[in-house]
A = this chain, B = another copy of it.
Amino acid sequence: MYSSELIKGTLKTIVLKLLSDSDKMYGYEITQKVKELTGGKIQLTEGALYPTLHAMEAQGILTTDVVNVGNRIRKYYSVTDTGKKVAKEKVNEYSDFIDTMIFLLDLKPKMG
């Protein structure tokens, strides 16, 4: 787990990236996917995630689809057309930011 201050400001970008690459995902699923993909290094907290999802829905970036699974509720989120633009902008901006930080901190990034 990274110190919490590092993760600040990356939540929306991460969520939009994951949702852009899949048809739809629900909140809990997003937390688990991020945990899995980062080997537990990033664990989104529900207290941060849910309000952010609600805000992005209110902004027209996401739409929801509530589904009953057994007796439990699942609220699926999908990226709207507007949201897809926002997602690309966010990811591109973060990519540029990372390049700037790599230069500023004189880092050697690993290649894939």
Residues of chain A having any CB pair with chain B under 8 Å: 2-3, 5-10, 12-14, 17, 34, 37-38, 41-42, 91, 93-112
CA distance A2 to B10 in the complex (A): 13
28 contacts between A and B (CB under 8 A): A2-B93, A2-B96, A2-B97, A3-B93, A5-B8, A5-B9, A7-B9, A8-B8, A8-B9, A9-B9, A14-B105, A17-B105, A37-B103, A37-B104, A38-B100, A41-B97, A42-B104, A94-B107, A95-B107, A98-B98, A98-B101, A98-B102, A102-B110, A102-B112, A108-B112, A109-B109, A109-B111, A111-B111
How many copies are assembled?
Answer: 2
